[in-house]
Amino acid sequence: MRRTPTEGRRSGAGTRRRSVATVALLLSGALALAGCAKDTGGGGSSAGGGTGPCQLSAPPAGAAGAPSSTAQQQPPPSAGALRVGVAFDIGGRGDASFNDASVAGLDRAKAEMGLGETKELDAGAGEPEDAKQTRLRQLAREGFNPVIAVGYAYADAIKIVAPEFPGTKFAIIDEQVDGLPNVTPLVFAEEQGSFLAGVVAAHKSKNCHVGFVGGVQTPLIQKFEAGFEAGAKAAAPNIKIEEKYLTPAGDFSGFQDPNKGSEVATGQLESGADVIYHAAGASGKGVFGAVKGAGAQAIGVDSDQYNQPTVAEYKDVIISSMLKRIDMAVYDYIAAVARNDLSTVPKKFDVAIDGVTYSTSGGKIDDLKPTLDAYKAAIANGQIQVPDKP
């Protein structure tokens, strides 16, 4: 969820541009409206309806069916000889979101590959920048190889530490680090998964009024906002959308402040939003609490939050989650290291390989699966180009 993307929007060939134009017409200009969404700096709402049921649009014609993954399935390698070090982002194990998704990949590698020794180091709120370097160096000096840095906050640190340990393989989640032969970026198309969350919100909103709560206002979290707005407006051009961030760029407390998450979500609910999507890490617990208190609905992020023990008390209001398959990325990376073939790691985890998708736990959106899969197919085949900036 919270890493700085450097990838730009994909550009299409002439035929793809013609397809996009057709889709825009079919969706009554919804995508064009989404591209014009306001970036208010801290909060606000985009123009729209919010006065009654949404005027729902159909997915693009000819896009029915879920995209099929092109990834080759290989038997799990033996990873018993590997010693894997993990440097967590703020929140660590138990955040019910980003860090726990990486833990799921690590645990799967242990179960399926017989992964050897592992070591996890936590980040501290408000810590100095060099603390990240210290964690990475500690793991490398103790012989852990590979070392996985969970989050874009490690970008500067890994650029300093990785050259000091050329024999150690490093991976960083959510940052495109180039030019370092021993660093593998694990990056995602968050805007594509958030587009699907927007479609869910539009279809499930009774007021045609939804909300987005971002943890920290960074380019990465703005990808979530942009995709969510685009999906909501594609499904319902007359929808009204609230958006607000808990903290500005540089203040990472927005990812670990449930009280502030509750406060912001409460404001959106009082304005009329009845479905709220968060991309706020552990602060999402506060969002869920506010939504439950108002009898509204919520969409989780990163992990399948309906099934997360640390937010189990709110599962009745979690209708879906945008799955950012960090678990898949961690597992695939460890498998690639075990095979000594890093070329098998995808350049980007997107909808085409289910690197980002949606959850159906709880059965609350089972009726939307054909619609969501049609949108997934349209994104995967280039009919829909999802914006990555609000």
Q: What is the pLDDT of residue 43?
A: 62
Residue 34: is its pLDDT beyond 60?
no
The b/e string for 297-336 (b: 16+ C-beta within 10 A; e otherwise) is bbbbbbbbbbbbeebeebbebbbbbbbbbbbbbbbbbbbb
Find the mean pLDDT for residues 149-156.
94
How high is the pLDDT of residue 367?
Answer: 97
* C-alpha–C-alpha distance, residues 232 and 178, integer Å: 34
C-alpha closest to that of 233 among 20, 41, 54 = 54
Q: How far apart are CA 296 and CA 276, in angstroms?
A: 8
Provide the pLDDT confidence category of residue 7 given band limits of 50, 70 and 90: very low
Which of 32-36, 81-85, 90-94, 352-356 is predicted with the least confidence, judged by mean pLDDT? 32-36
Backbone angles phi, psi at 276, to 5 degrees: -125, 130
Q: What is the pLDDT of residue 96?
A: 72
Q: CA 240 to CA 115: how far, in whole Å?
A: 48
Domains recognised in the chain with CATH numbers: 40-55+189-325+351-380 (3.40.50.2300), 84-188+328-344 (3.40.50.2300)
Q: In this predicted structure, which of 13-17, 204-208, 250-254 has the lowest mean pLDDT? A: 13-17
Task: State yes or no: pLDDT of 36 exceeds 60.
Answer: no
The overall average pLDDT reported for the chain is 87
What would the pLDDT profile of 224-272 be if each residue is shown by its tens digit? 999 999 999 999 999 999 999 999 998 989 998 999 999 999 999 999 9
pLDDT band at 47 (very low <50, low <70, confident <90, very high): low
Please state the φ and ψ torsions of residue 302, each to the nearest 5 degrees.
70, -75
Least confident range of 56-70, 121-135, 246-260, 336-350: 56-70
Give me the pLDDT at residue 388, please.
96
pLDDT of residue 15: 38
**Hey, what are 223's tokens?**
């990808």
First vs last Cα of the chain: how many Å apart?
16
Q: Which of 6-15, 126-135, 300-309 has the lowest mean pLDDT?
A: 6-15
> Which of the residue ranges 67-71, 117-121, 123-127, 148-152 would you say has the lowest mean pLDDT?
67-71
- pLDDT (tens digit, 9 = 90+) per residue, 160-196? 999 999 999 999 999 999 999 999 999 999 999 999 9
Between residues 134 and 22, which one has the greater pLDDT? 134
Phi, psi for residue 242 in degrees, rounded to 5: -90, 145
Q: What is the pLDDT confidence band of residue 42, given thresholds at 50, 70 and 90?
A: low
Q: How far out from the chain centre does Cα 156 lie?
A: 21
Q: Is the pLDDT of residue 320 over 50?
A: yes
pLDDT band at 383 (very low <50, low <70, confident <90, very high): very high
pLDDT at position 93 is 82
Query: Position of tokens 């980002």?
Result: 356
Measured on CA atoms in the order 238, 204, 303, 251, is the torsion positive or negative? positive
Which pLDDT value is given to residue 63? Answer: 62
Strand arrangement, sheet containing 118-121 = 118-121, 84-87, 147-149, 170-173, 183-186
Q: What is the pLDDT of residue 252?
A: 87
